[in-house]
A and B are shown apart, each in its own frame.
Chain A
Amino acid sequence: MTNLEARLRAALSARALSVSADDLQPAVPPTLATVPKPRRLAWPWAGALAGGVAVALVAGFVAARLPGDDGTGPAPNPPAATVPSQQSSSSPSSSPEASPGISPGVSPEPGPARGSDGLPKGRPEASPGSARSHPPVPVSPGAPEPSTAPSPPAAFG
């Protein structure tokens, strides 16, 4: 041990031993003191459960409000009343059959409905039943007979 180390030990010892038990303030162990413990959730899983329930409720609400599921969504377009065109002579389809069979002139498949002006309409303004109440479009002269709107296929109600 060098002289410096001996001096260090002596000085540190003198300073430390200058503190005696009588110099200390009266204190109690931490078990007797009111040490605030960190607050914990009573049930750690309760938060996760409440969050899951909330998410499920929101998801159910959103799903119930989705368009198309409540009957007000887009319905299939009814077959529009077809009007024989001027070139109907070349069209062999003048049969008013309500057959869903493919016909160049009468197409029952739901496509973009055409209004009276011939422009496609995104959505029919009336139900297929009410469409029948409209007066037939004037038939151009030369047509064999005015075409009546075929009734919609049973699939469309």
Chain B
Amino acid sequence: MILAIPLPSLLLRRLRSSVSTPVRRPSAPDGPPAINELYHARRLGLVRLAVLMVDDLATAEDIVQDVFAALYRRHGADLRTVADPEAYLTSGVMNAARSALRRRRTARAYVPPPAGTAPAAEEQMLLADGDREVLGALGELTVRQRQVVVLRYWSELSEQEIADVLHVSRGTVKSTASRALTILRGLLGERR
């Protein structure tokens, strides 16, 4: 049953990318390359998304820059071969954030984090107590659960879109979200 899931997922993704999502055409020959336009338009949003994952602005900026560089290396500047560049970038940011969190957890298993890696005081001041409490509870989730929660409640993606971005099945997204909400409910003292 598990083996049968990826095929419909791939077919749906291909169908979605070829029918409903407009293929991004390259810019005019005398204009800036498509990837530059995309960079200027989406960089801040992707950095915010990465910050929600890794909770560190410098790491988030590095992640986004690396994802754009990888996109340029692989598909060139006109992005003619990329059906959905935004989904590609979101998926790249999620994968890179996951790798960064794994590296960080591995490093913290050997060396305690220095005091400088805590969120800046200005950032803490901007957040209300309730928000800080929720964000602290988010830190207790697994990486996959945190990805699903962020994509669902910040990026406002549907279950199917989250499944496409994370390359998992829709059922996995649903069960992961359910488990994450259960954990958060317990941590935050919420009642159903």
Q: 23 A-B residue contacts at CB 8 Å?
A: A2-B192, A3-B190, A5-B153, A7-B130, A7-B188, A8-B153, A12-B52, A14-B128, A14-B131, A15-B51, A15-B135, A16-B49, A16-B51, A24-B43, A24-B44, A24-B47, A29-B39, A29-B68, A30-B69, A30-B73, A31-B33, A33-B69, A37-B73
Query: Once the chains are docked, how many angstroms separate the CA of A32 from the CA of B69?
Result: 10
Instruction: Tell me, yes or no, whether B157 is within 8 Å of chain A by CB.
Output: no
Cβ-defined contact, A15 with B127, below 8 A:
yes
Cβ-defined contact, A27 with B43, below 8 A: yes
Find A11's partner among B40, B43, B77, B131 (CB 8 Å cutoff). Answer: B131
| B52 A16 Cβ-Cβ under 8 A | yes
List B contacts of A38 (CB < 8 A): 73
Contacts of B192 in A (CB 8 A): 2
Whether B73 pairs with A8 at a CB distance below 8 angstroms is no
Task: Count residues of chain A with CB under 8 A from any CB of chain B.
Answer: 31
Instruction: Determine the chain A residues whose CB is within 8 A of the CB of B69 once the complex forms.
Output: 30, 33, 35
Nearest residue (CB) in A for B64 is A27
**Which of A12, A29, A31, A32 is within 8 Å of B154, CB to CB?**
A12
Task: Kindly provide the distance from the CB of A22 to the nearest chain B CB, expressed in whole angstroms.
Answer: 10
Query: Residue B36 contacts which of A7, A17, A23, A29 (CB distance < 8 angstroms)?
Result: A29
- Asked whether, in the complex, the Cβ of A18 is within 8 Å of the Cβ of B73, the reply is no
How many residues of B sit at the interface, in one of the four size bands?
35 or more
Residue of A16, A23, A24 contacting most chain B CB atoms (<10 Å): A16
Asked, given contacts A24-B44, A30-B69, A38-B73, whether A8 binds B39 with beta carbons under 8 Å apart, the answer is: no
Grouping DSSP codes into helix (H, G, I), strand (E, B) and loop, the B interface class, with mixed when no group exceeds half, is helix
Asked if B150 is at the interface of the complex by the 8 Å CB criterion, the answer is yes
Provide the B123-164 mask, 1 if CB < 8 A to any CB of A, else 0: 100111011101100100000000001100110000000000
* Contact call A35/B61, Cβ cutoff below 8 A: no
- Measured between alpha carbons, how far is A79 from B192 in the docked complex, in Å? 111
Q: Mark B168-192, 1 if CB is under 8 A from A, else 0.
A: 0000000000000100110010101
When distances are taken between beta carbons in the complex, the residues of chain A under 8 Å from B123 are 18
Docked complex Cα distance between A3 and B72 (Å): 42
Q: Select A16's contact among B43, B149, B154, beta carbons within 8 Å.
A: B154
Contact present for B44 and A30 (CB under 8 Å): no
